[in-house]
Amino acid sequence: MRALGQVAWSFPLIEFSPGRELSTLSRSLNALGDGDLVFALSQHAVSFAHAQLQQQHLLWPTTPRYFAIGRTTALALHQVSGFDVRYPLDREISEVLLQLPELQTIAGKKALILRGNGGRELLAETLTERGAIVTLCECYQRCPVHYDGAEEAMRWQTREVTTLVVTSGEMLQQLWTLIPLWYRERWLLQCRLLVVSERIAKLAQEMGWQDIQVADSADNDALLRALQ
């Protein structure tokens, strides 16, 4: 945005640390056979998983099929593994990923999901319903960054911030909770809000936002298109 001449700031609401199940990653990958499934749910899952494999001098196995929640995560996984990674082409959400033809008949297949702590259970639950044997691997943890809410709200209001880009429901909830009521009503909820899914838009509406826009996907190009 700055390169395009816009005034923009970043405000990290979460930081990342290694997940509690990284030590089980190599064992879980080794248990996969031909045609089994690996899912990467974020770039952070890929980077922490790959660092763990490198530390153990191991490579990504060649037998499973690889999937990612979106283009950016798919590219990250392809770069570290060298394998073809399938991902949904229109919306970068679990619902659309689950529509891929190769995920319709998976009874008896093993599926390993690389993810962070918490998050949605839709993917794991749906794969299980379709007969897959699902293993979850927490590759990283999301930890909230602590701020003085009133101080930050005053800063952003003084800087005349009128548009917010929020890429997860968890961060939206955290932002809403962080900002004190007075600033929430007079500034936060008056901002234009750009989100990456209808689900997050619905959550924002319930919280009190009115000017909400949904980007085509969660990658930078789609966000920039929506902002322009």
Q: Residues 139-188: pLDDT tens digits?
A: 999 988 999 999 999 999 999 999 999 988 989 999 999 999 999 999 99
**Range 15-143 classified under CATH 1.20.1260.10:** no
Structure tokens at 37: 């499934």
Sheet with strand 163-165: strands edge to edge: 163-165, 192-195, 212-214
CATH of domain 147-227: 3.40.50.10090
CB 144 within 8 A of CB 11: no
The position carrying tokens 């008896």 is 108
Question: What are residue 116's phi and psi, to 5 degrees?
Answer: -95, -175
What is the arithmetic mean of pLDDT over 84-112? 91
Structure tokens at 84: 């073809």
CB 69 within 8 A of CB 41: yes
Can you give the residue ranges of every domain in the chain? 15-143, 147-227
Structure tokens at 32: 């996969």
Please indicate, yes or no, whether the overall pTM of this predicted structure exceeds 0.85.
Answer: no
From the list 38, 21, 20, the residue with the least C-alpha distance to 29 is: 38
Fold match flag (15-143 vs 147-227): yes
CB 47 within 8 A of CB 68: no
Report how far residue 28's alpha carbon sits from residue 112's, in angstroms, rounded to the nearest whole number.
7
Listed range (24-28, 70-74, 87-91, 206-210) with the worst mean pLDDT: 87-91
Residue 151 carries which side chain, given as an amino acid letter?
E
